[in-house]
Amino acid sequence: MAMEFAKAASARRLLRWQSALTRPRSWVCHSCRSNFAVASRRFSSEPPPPPPADKPYYVTTPIFYVNAAPHIGHMYTMVLADVFKRWQTLLGNRAFLCTGTDEHGMKVQQAAALAEVDPKRFCDENAEKFEELAQLSRIDYDRFIRTTDRDHVQAVEHFWFLLREKGLIYETKHEGWYSVADECFYPESQVIKYLEPFTGAVYMAAAETKSKVEWVEEKNYCFRMTALKDRLLAFYQENPGWIEPAYRMNEVTDWVNNHLEDLSISRPVQRLSWGIRVPDDPSQTIYVWVDALINYITAAGFPGWAPGESHKGGWPADVQILGKDILRFHGIYWPALLMALDLPLPKKLLVHSHWTLNNKKMSKSVGNVVNPLYAINRWGVDTARFYLLSEGGIADDADYSNDTLVIKYKKYLQWGFGNLLGRVTRPKAWNLREIVENSFREVDASRPMIPQRLHMAAIGLQSTLIDLPPTIATRMEKHNPVGAIRKILEIGTRLNVALSQTQPWSLVKSDDPGDRAAAEKILFLVAEGLRISGILLQPFLPDKAALLLDTLGVAQDKRTFAHTRLRCDPDYGVPMVDPGSSRTDGLFGPLIEDVDVEFSGSAKSRQKATSKRLIVQAEN
């Protein structure tokens, strides 16, 4: 009776979550078409209507500067976005992921000059490195956009025309503190005298980033962003969860309240030639951050939207993922630009923190930048993804450590799911397919009674597996992929403990029919735990999750979220791949550092060689 009740509860919970998670909770701008000068216009706080059925779930990464090679932080951002895209696919929803490169601006112009190559060639070569990283990281992207793409240039030009038609652009002599590194002006209140700790140099710097600033006076065009101040603040107040983590909203609100100025949106071509020229004024180049932000709607089909059909390309984005260092551009400039043209705002900004090395910010000048391609080659792509996702920081910075990676890998993957899969699929004492078949047979009144201790263990396992899918769904709905993968990894540990405590390999040899029935029940539940966990791991570790499910013999069409219900698949149990014969050829074999290698010389030299292989390769 308890088993049947639990099965019914499982079905109800999963049906509830499947329904809830496929019903997007979007925010759509309900702005009226009144005169723009009504700066106090409010946004409706009523729940938004559900989006059209033909809108794909749309997730973006920021586009990455090509002035330097990719680092581990770029990979982390990409992988986070990929998890959200794959999760929606797992739910049965259509999803669209956009990533790419930001190729204009002063930093790129200077980097190309330093390399003594043409800017376009410089961008081509470096954009290829970022796309290679996306491919090697198994990012399931739909568009790799480049700001040098022709359709993007046309989108930026059209956006400029619309702003100008609304009277939101004016020409002025602009002066202020400008940071080339940050590609932006800073107000006087945000500039400090700074002592560089490594060199001892003293210079004027942005208080926020410590980037060097210089005083610039020039003629350019400005965007009337201050006219949108009230609308921005009203939106923040009525949508407090728009930015996650929530405390990041305070930073944005404070800036708008205390530092908002009209935005300089062009640069003289004499100072910045590498970029999109201002329409009808070739003496000016469009500011890189206006250019860059528009990429998100370029990829969604702007400006070729038919009336009422912007959603077909995915806009508004369901979640835009970005690092904390570019929050101001996405949390202030971007909504202001969209509000100016009465375009819907993205539904969510997910702001993650940075990766450090030895608790110090990664920096090319210091030489402590972790090369993601090296990490993938050394550890394997899913191991690198596992480490970034399980240890990465959303609210707080995370410290990259090879030693920690190895420890976590052994605990949760090698000795966790890898060991567990081998314990279930390799023994000759039982046949997994027969165990699955027997568990789906009609309950026979003559079936032997399971000992109470083992019966309670089975009930506990069953309850854990019933709760797992809705728990993961809740965490993903709350934009917490780190918490989601950690919960899945805990299940591997829980199932291994259950096997060790019940010892089914001994029970199957018992003369007591109840013991043998208990062994079969425990083994089936552990197999179910592997099957359900493998399905849920697909967005996080796509290659290894597929191998796990292949080893269990789970059919390709039974790997969706709907199949994470307990006892919903009666057909698996015949491996599609060889489960191997030992830990060295299993799902998660030993890392290369664990393999015995022949070295000449003393034990001390062998130890040094082993330690050397664990050191992170830095970009020089």
pLDDT of residue 181: 66
Mean pLDDT, rounded, of the chain: 86
Say which residue, 318 or 213, is predicted with more confidence.
318
Q: Starting from the edge strand earliest in sequence, which strands make up the sheet with 266-268, in order?
A: 266-268, 281-286, 277-278
Show the tokens assigned to 599.
Answer: 């070295």
| pLDDT tens digit sequence for 489-546 | 999 999 999 999 999 999 989 889 999 999 999 999 999 999 999 999 999 999 999 9
Can you tell me the distance from the alpha carbon of 330 to that of 244, in angstroms, rounded to the nearest whole number? 13
The C-alpha atoms of residue 360 and residue 55 are separated, in whole angstroms, by 42
Q: How many C-beta neighbours within 10 Å does residue 312 have?
A: 15
Q: Do the Cβ atoms of 475 and 467 come closer than 8 Å? A: no
Annotate 160-207 with DSSP letters as a single string.
HHHHHHTT-EEEEEEEEEEETTTTEEE-GGGEEEEE-TTT--EEEEET
Residue 221 pairs in a beta bridge with 171
Q: State pTM to two decimals.
A: 0.84
Superfamily of domain 2-8+402-594: Isoleucyl-tRNA Synthetase; Domain 1 (1.10.730.10)
pLDDT at 45 over 50: no
As a whole number of angstroms, the distance between CA 489 and CA 478 comes to 19
Question: pLDDT tens digits, residue range 388-399?
Answer: 999 998 889 999
pLDDT score of 312 more than 80: yes
The better pLDDT of the pair 39, 300 is held by 300
Q: Are 465 and 528 in contact (CB under 8 A)?
A: yes
Burial of 384 (0-12, 13-18, 19+ CB in 10 A): buried
* Contact between residue 168 and residue 336 where contact means Cβ atoms under 8 Å apart: no
Q: Which of 50-59, 227-236, 291-300 has the lowest mean pLDDT?
A: 50-59
What whole-number distance in Å separates Cα of residue 461 and Cα of residue 465? 6
* Cα radius of gyration (the chain): 28
Decide if 420 contacts 499 (C-beta within 8 A): yes
pLDDT digits (tens, 9 = 90+) for 74-118: 999 999 999 999 999 999 999 999 999 999 998 999 999 999 999
Domain edges within the chain: 2-8+402-594
Contact residues for 399 (Cβ-Cβ < 8 A; gap 6+): 355, 356, 357, 358, 359
Percent of the chain with pLDDT over 90: 69
Distance from C-alpha of 244 to C-alpha of 257, rounded to nearest angstrom: 20
**The pairing of beta strand 355-357 with beta strand 184-186:** unpaired
Pairing outcome for strands 64-65 and 57-60:
unpaired
Angle at 226 between CA 220 and CA 227, to 5 degrees: 110
DSSP 92: T
**Whole-number Å distance between alpha carbons of 237 and 429:** 63
pLDDT at 599 over 70: no
- Max CA pair span of the chain: 93
Q: Is the peptide bond before 303 cis (omega within 30 degrees of 0)?
A: yes
pLDDT category of residue 443 using cuts at 50, 70 and 90 = low
pLDDT, one tens digit per residue, over 182-233 is 666 777 777 777 777 767 777 787 777 777 777 777 889 999 999 999 999 9
Helix ranges restricted to H, 116-149: 119-136
| Contacts of 416 by beta carbon, 8 Å cutoff, 6+ apart | 489, 492, 493, 496, 588
